[in-house]
Amino acid sequence: MSKNQLDWKSQISRLEGAYAPSTIKSYHADMESFAEWCASNSVDPLPADPATLCDYLLDQAKTMSASTVNRRIYSIRRVHRLLELPDTTRCEEVHLTLRRIMRSKTIRPKQARGMTREYLDLFLKSQPNSLAGLRNRALLSLAYEGLTRRSELPPILDEEITMLPDGTMQVLIRRSKADPFGQGRLVFTSRRTAETVNSWRNRRGNGYKYLFSPIYQGKPVNRALSVSAIKKIIRITNERLELGDDSTGRFSGHSMRVGAAQDLLARGFDIAAIMRAGGWKSVDTVSRYLEQSHQNVWI
């Protein structure tokens, strides 16, 4: 086995701190997939031969979406750059193979089900009368009114909450997928959400670094709530309310962001205002979120 084949894992580790952990995890998983495929076909993964790349992409396209296949080749390209190898991923035949795959498969992304206000209220009312239930209500309310991604909630620091004179609340969203260098964006809440968040903070007590913390045996733990825990909160509530697998799909950690955007459109806000509120950079992304807000308009 060549030195290059042994080094790609350590080279990916060089990216730590420069890219989001989820991005690094994807690079590793994609390159692992390619390396395993090469091993099963008795070919060397690095440097990748153009013919090998084409065969791999075509094989992946049998079971993977077009976006996953495209991500695979980007990850392989990143590893070649890290190892300072010739970038065979940009060869014309590889490019043409990728285009054939993209043209032969639908690329419409799956859309998260929007948790509009009516569903949010159901989620809030169904939370248990406990410390965890109070935290969940605060989290869901802030996620909706702040149009936050699921991943933006755990890093919020307790000190980044500011109460305003009118009883509302200002929250600094320090880092996000669209803001990797932490410029941050400010979001503002209603009085009701501010009261719920403050009730959670008061019952939890002082001295906690993060706004939302896990709860163990009825007591808060001084660390950030995990992204997977937020996913679990939504899944359990979804099952409790029996709102799952119908034609509109399940609610997810992205649903509050999508539903709030749909509600803002229904209230007459234009796309520019919605983009500012949610920190979006792409009009196309917001437009996909807003498609479902027009369903059943002629009924």
Q: What is the pTM of this model?
A: 0.70
Of 33, 42, 39, 109, which Cα lies nearest the Cα of 75? 33
Helical (H) or strand (E) element with 139: helix 131-145
CATH numbers and ranges of domains, the chain = 3-104 (1.10.150.130), 117-294 (1.10.443.10)
The number of beta carbons lying within 10 Å of the beta carbon of residue 88 is 19
| Residue 64 structure tokens | 């993977």
Q: Do β-strands 169-173 and 215-216 pair in parallel, antiparallel, or remain unpaired?
A: unpaired
Query: Who contacts 285 (Cβ-Cβ below 8 Å, separation ≥6)?
Result: none
Pairing of strands 169-173, 185-188: antiparallel
Q: What is the pLDDT of residue 277?
A: 81
Intervals of the chain under pLDDT 50 = 1, 246-248, 295-299
Q: How far apart are CA 72 and CA 33, in angstroms?
A: 8
Letter for the amino acid at 61?
Answer: A
Task: Spell out the residues 6+ positions from residue 275 whose beta carbon is closer than 8 angstroms to its own.
Answer: 281, 283, 286
Cα 293 from Cα 262, distance rounded (Å): 5
With 0-12 / 13-18 / 19 or more C-beta atoms within 10 angstroms meaning exposed / middle / buried, residue 182 is exposed
